[in-house]
């Protein structure tokens, strides 16, 4: 489903709109390119580039996706400021933020208009709540079943360091992942979470330290050797092969990964966990909805023999009802493999996981049971600064 909100205004874009974005603060000098990890800075730059064309209407597609709570507040307020100079058409799944910002809301589901009206009409619609909102984060989180993991270590990181050129990204990172465990890897944008997942799959070379899987050292190996060892990786974004069907994407995920290192997945077993894909198997990946693309990306990672699954921002930019489906699926998967999940939806990540490792500036500064962070908001603010 897509939710669209727009802001009524008869004016055009004026040059004063651009300083609203704070781009002078986002980069130290003119011409500086923001680093790939600086998601908020990139988002501001995208908005600045769009406004620099002096448009008569601004089209904003998921501008809040992948941002922390504080960053969503900041970017949302900037969009509202921009709307004083020109109309804004917003596509966004952060429904609370949309209700705060929008003057008019159109809700779509499966290509059809579900509702077209003001914010209050959308807020009070039973159909919108049922299809879009789902049962609510707290209700979904309460269904998670922890405590299924064993005490046996599956994967261990010891004093791992990663550099991008001269930039030192990860500093002596160390923790372990147990069999049947879901581990949440949390921290602010730029803390090194995605880099750590890339190091585990071999995309980001480890400068020093070791990563072992099942007692075998995998750090220093190329991704083509690590994936067959039983590591499934789903990067941020969908990363599917456009123009190829879901069936073909799954088949590609099996290449050289039927090694016996982990759970063996057939199409029938995958579709048991992702039933929505059953009728989409012969559909081209770029024609799927956002939620279906996320499901297909995870399914492709599982299609080889897998014993640990690395998930980077799987709940990003999805309607709550789809998030609920994925949450329940990941919760069931813990019975068959271990999972490391990176996500900005703290309530769901903490409810789903057994333990949490928090990073700050590339260093581990907290490790402990997720339940404590889920139930103690003061501790959560102290640890995660949110």
Rounded CA separation 327/332 (Å): 9
Percent of the chain clearing pLDDT 70 (strictly above): 83
Q: Where are the alpha helices (DSSP H) in the chain?
A: 23-26, 39-52, 69-82, 95-101, 119-124, 126-128, 137-141, 193-201, 223-226, 246-254, 267-273, 290-302, 320-333, 346-352, 370-375, 377-384
Rounded CA gap, 177 and 190, in Å? 22
Gap between the Cα atoms of 200 and 194, Å rounded? 10
The string of pLDDT tens digits covering residues 252-296 is: 888 888 888 888 888 899 999 999 999 999 999 989 888 899 899
167's torsion region: left (phi>0), alpha (psi -120 to 50) or beta?
beta
Question: What crossing angle do the helices spanning 320-333 and 290-302 adopt, rounded to 10°?
Answer: 10
Reduced to 3 states, what is the DSSP secondary structure of residue 44?
Answer: helix
> Which among 111, 289, 262, 59 is positioned nearest to 180, based on CA atoms?
262
Q: What is the 3 state secondary structure string of 282-346?
A: CCEHHHCCHHHHHHHHHHHHHCCCECEEEEECCCCCCCHHHHHHHHHHHHHHCCCCEEEEECCCH
- Residue 209 backbone class (left: φ over 0; alpha: ψ -120 to 50; beta: rest): left
pLDDT band at 242 (very low <50, low <70, confident <90, very high): confident
Q: What angle do CA 180, 360, 308 make, to 5 degrees?
A: 20
Centre a 10 Å sphere on the Cβ of residue 112 and count the other Cβ atoms it contains.
8
Strand partners, 161: 208
Least confident of 92-96, 196-200, 278-282: 92-96
Domain 153-384 sits in CATH at 3.40.50.300
Compute the distance between CA of residue 249 and CA of residue 302 in angstroms, rounded to an integer: 11
Instruction: Return the pLDDT at 18.
Output: 47
| CA 155/CA 176 separation, integer angstroms | 6
What does the pLDDT read at residue 19? 53
Quick one: pLDDT at residue 240? Answer: 87
Q: Would you say how long the chain is, in residues?
A: 386
**Which tokens is 13 given?**
């874009």
| Helix pair 246-254, 290-302: axis angle to 10 deg | 30
Q: Which fold has domain 2-133?
A: Rossmann fold (3.40.50)
Q: Do domains 2-133 and 153-384 have the same CATH topology?
A: yes
Rounded distance, CA 132 to CA 117, Å? Answer: 16
Angle, alpha carbons 174-195-76 (nearest 5°): 120
By DSSP bridging, strand 88-91 and strand 58-61 are: parallel
Sorted by where each begins, the domain ranges of the chain are: 2-133, 153-384
For the stretch 120-155, pLDDT in tens is 998 888 887 766 655 556 666 677 776 567 789 999
**pLDDT over 50 at 1, yes or no:** no
Q: Tell me the range of 38-42, 189-193, 220-224 where mean pLDDT is highest.
A: 220-224
């Amino acid at each position: 489903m897509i939710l669209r909100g727009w802001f009524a205004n008869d004016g055009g874009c004026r040059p004063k709109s651009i300083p609203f974005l704070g781009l002078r603060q986002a980069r130290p000098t003119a011409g500086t390119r923001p680093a790939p990890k600086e998601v908020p800075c990139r988002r501001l730059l995208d908005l600045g580039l769009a406004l620099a064309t002096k448009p008569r209407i601004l089209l904003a597609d998921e501008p809040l996706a992948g941002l922390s709570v504080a960053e969503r507040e900041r970017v949302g307020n900037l969009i509202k400021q921009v709307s004083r100079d020109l109309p804004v058409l917003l596509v966004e799944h952060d429904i609370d933020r949309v209700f705060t910002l929008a003057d008019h809301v159109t809700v779509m589901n499966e290509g059809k208009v579900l509702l077209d009206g003001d914010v209050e009409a959308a807020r009070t619609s039973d159909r919108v709540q049922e299809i879009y909102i789902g049962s609510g984060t707290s209700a979904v989180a309460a269904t998670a079943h922890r405590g299924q993991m064993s005490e046996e270590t599956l994967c261990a990181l010891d004093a791992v360091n990663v550099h991008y050129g001269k930039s030192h990204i990860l500093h002596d990172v160390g923790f372990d992942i147990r069999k049947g465990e879901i581990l949440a890897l949390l921290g602010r944008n730029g803390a090194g979470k995605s880099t750590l997942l890339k190091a585990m799959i071999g995309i980001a070379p480890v400068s020093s330290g070791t990563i072992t899987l099942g007692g075998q050292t995998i750090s220093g190996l190329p991704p083509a050797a690590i994936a067959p060892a039983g590591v499934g990786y789903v990067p941020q974004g969908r990363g599917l092969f456009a123009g190829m069907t879901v069936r073909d994407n799954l088949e590609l995920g099996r290449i050289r990964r039927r090694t016996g290192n982990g759970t063996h997945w057939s199409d029938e077993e995958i579709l048991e966990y992702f039933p929505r894909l059953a009728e989409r198997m012969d559909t081209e990946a770029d024609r799927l909805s956002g939620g279906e693309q996320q499901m297909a990306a995870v399914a492709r990672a599982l299609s080889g023999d897998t014993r640990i699954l690395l998930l980077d921002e799987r709940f990003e930019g999805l309607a709550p009802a789809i998030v609920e489906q994925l949450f329940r699926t990941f919760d069931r998967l813990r019975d068959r493999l271990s999972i490391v999940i990176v996500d900005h939806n703290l309530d769901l990540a903490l409810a789903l996981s057994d333990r949490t490792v928090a990073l700050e500036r590339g260093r581990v500064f907290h490790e402990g049971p997720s339940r404590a962070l889920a139930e103690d908001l003061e501790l959560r603010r102290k640890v995660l600064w949110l």
